[in-house]
Amino acid sequence: MTANAEARGRVAGEPGADAASAVARHPVEVHRGPTGWYAEALEDALAREVPVALVYNGISHAVMMATPEDLEDFALGFSLSEGLLAHPHECYDLTVREETRGLAVHLTIASQRLAELKARRRNLAGRTGCGLCGTEALEQAIRPIPVVQAPALADAAIQRALAGLADHQALQAATGATHGAAWCDGLGRIRLVREDVGRHNALDKLIGALSRQGGPDADGFALVSSRASYEMVHKSASAGIGALVAVSAATALAVEQARAADLLLVGFARPGRHLVYHRPAAAPPAARAHG
């Protein structure tokens, strides 16, 4: 058992073999109490975060701090959610390469998209799950948001997905340091999960994985283990996701954007309760099993 697992009071599941590069082992001192403190040496599992460069047709466009897992999904999802690509088929090739101080994802994209990229080219050093991805002007901060079709989502489906999320977060179970983004069907069954130290990155990975499978289903929804910020709403709508459920609160701008997109936005999803910040009139609740 790792120190993180013990601190959370339960045995943590280990990530799969394909996630081995996302976890680092490190010796730590565990201090116990409360009547008397003493130290014990254990090995802890730590989530890795490394610089990941996104390179388009040889142009280094962005450098993000991310967990080195599912980087193909991350690069494709970021490209779609940031409007660098309009469709997945505009990415002709994608490869991950090890560099001296990190990793680089090289994408070969359509010439029209490359011309648009050059027109607004910028380089950035992104912090963990933060920032507006290299925005240079105020006009770029809040981009137009597409209108989506929200599903008629039952409260019981939200609660079912919430109850099952932890069982699908192997990295979080091992390290206690990652966010999860899950795609759930209309009944609340979790179909796909991606994890990362950054909440935006986890959602981008999910968007990329969904795009490889033909896109999100009309009756499904995304569940994220974080707050619902403006950017999380915008990324969801850009990917055609009609409903976003967050474990924590929504921001005021996120609610405004959800209304503009007609996106179903739910926050503070906890066992037995959740808050509906915006429910489009066209998407009434299918049932109200939980308040």
* Number of CB atoms found within 10 A of residue 135's CB: 15
Quick check: 172 and 225 in contact, CB under 8 A? yes
Query: For 57-70, how does the pLDDT look when each residue is reduced to its tens digit (9 = 90+)?
Result: 999 999 999 999 99
How many residues are recorded in the chain? 291
CATH fold, domain 50-141, is Ubiquitin-like (UB roll) (3.10.20)
Residues designated as active site:
130
Looking at residue 159, what is its pLDDT? 97
Three-state secondary structure call for residue 29: strand
Of 43, 62, 53, give the one whose Cα is nearest residue 5: 43
Q: Per-residue pLDDT for the chain (291 aa), expressed as one digit of tens each? A: 454 444 433 232 344 444 568 999 888 888 777 766 667 888 889 999 999 999 999 999 999 999 999 999 999 999 999 999 999 999 999 999 999 889 999 999 999 999 999 887 654 434 444 444 444 555 566 789 999 999 999 999 999 999 999 999 999 999 999 999 999 999 999 999 999 999 999 999 999 999 999 999 999 999 999 999 999 999 999 999 999 999 999 999 999 999 999 999 999 999 999 999 999 987 777 644 443
Phi, psi of 236 (to 5 degrees): -60, -50
Looking at residue 126, what is its pLDDT? 42
Q: What are the counts of helices (DSSP H) followed by strands (DSSP E) for the chain?
A: 9, 12
Query: For 63-110, how does the pLDDT look when each residue is reduced to its tens digit (9 = 90+)?
Result: 999 999 999 999 999 999 999 999 999 999 999 999 988 999 999 999
Quick check: 204 and 81 in contact, CB under 8 A? yes
* Number of CB atoms found within 10 A of residue 143's CB: 14
Phi, psi of 154 (to 5 degrees): -80, 145
Looking at residue 141, what is its pLDDT? 66
Q: Which two tokens stand for residue 278?
A: 């915006």
Looking at residue 49, what is its pLDDT? 94
Phi, psi of 199 (to 5 degrees): -65, -40
- Name the residue ranges covered by the structural domains of the chain: 3-46, 50-141, 155-278
Instruction: Count Cα neighbours of 141 within 13 Å in the Cβ-side half-sphere.
Output: 5
CA 130 distance to own-chain centroid: 12
Q: What is the rounded distance in angstroms from the CA atom of residue 210 to the CA atom of residue 221?
A: 12
Looking at residue 100, what is its pLDDT? 87
Quick check: 271 and 248 in contact, CB under 8 A? no
Q: What is the rounded distance in angstroms from the CA atom of residue 164 to the CA atom of residue 166?
A: 6
pTM, two decimals, is 0.86
What pairing do the DSSP bridges indicate for beta strands 102-109 and 50-56? Answer: parallel
Q: CATH for 155-278, among 3.90.1150.30, 3.40.50.11540, 3.40.50.300, 3.40.140.10?
A: 3.40.140.10
Q: Which two tokens stand for residue 40?
A: 């014990």
String of b and e for 230-261 (b: at least 16 CB within 10 Å)?
A: bbbbbbbbbbbbbbbbbbeebbeebbbbbebb
